[in-house]
Amino acid sequence: MATETPAVPMVVPDEGTPGEPQPAENEGAPDLEEGSPSNASSGGDPVDDVACISAGSFSYAELEEKLKRISPGSNVAIPSAKMFEVVETLVSGLRGMVQQHDLFTDLLRTADYMKAFASQRKNSENQLYLRLEEAEASLSTARGDNEALRAD
């Protein structure tokens, strides 16, 4: 028997009848094609690592179901406890990264609000200085008019 896993189901002898070949069964296993990207990326292993990752949230039940589909007689390496620890570590790390992303997003939003607030305050301050200058000019004109009236 070859050590490399074939890309298509092969004929194996039945244990009950030594001379009679029967097709191998791949119940629930993914269809394997030679041009399959999963075979190319995982070195020819028939287990598609990406298939174990759901599009939504991580689910141990879903992972367990996918692992149950691997037939007991296959050449595929049996997942070890270390693999589950690695998956848990990765999921935990990704959750931490999502939390950090959310925190940084909140900080950026707060910084934007602070910039807008400071800009509005600066504009208000500039408007007050303009009004003060207008009031001083008006006061100076009024004093000049007042002095002119007293002189008359």
Whether the pLDDT of residue 87 is over 90: the answer is no
Name the pLDDT band for 32 (thresholds 50, 70, 90): very low
Q: Can you read off the two tokens belonging to residue 121?
A: 């305050």
- Return the pLDDT at 128: 96
This prediction has a pTM of 0.37
Could you give the CA distance from residue 62 to residue 53 in angstroms, rounded to a whole number? Answer: 9
Could you give the CA distance from residue 76 to residue 6 in angstroms, rounded to a whole number? Answer: 11
Whether the pLDDT of residue 133 is over 60: the answer is yes
Are 46 and 32 spatial neighbours (Cβ–Cβ below 8 Å)?
A: yes
Could you give the CA distance from residue 13 to residue 19 in angstroms, rounded to a whole number? Answer: 7
Q: What is the mean pLDDT of residues 30-53?
A: 44
Q: What is the mean pLDDT of residues 44-64?
A: 55
Whether the pLDDT of residue 20 is over 50: the answer is no
Name the pLDDT band for 73 (thresholds 50, 70, 90): low
- Return the pLDDT at 102: 96
Whether the pLDDT of residue 28 is over 80: the answer is no
Cβ contacts of residue 20 below 8 Å, gap of 6+? 13, 14
Could you give the CA distance from residue 32 to residue 45 in angstroms, rounded to a whole number? Answer: 10
Nearest alpha carbon to residue 77 among 45, 48, 51: 45
- Return the pLDDT at 33: 43
Nearest alpha carbon to residue 9 among 42, 31, 36: 31
Could you give the CA distance from residue 7 to residue 10 in angstroms, rounded to a whole number? Answer: 9
Whether the pLDDT of residue 25 is over 50: the answer is no
Percentage of the chain lying above the pLDDT 90 cut: 34
Whether the pLDDT of residue 10 is over 60: the answer is no
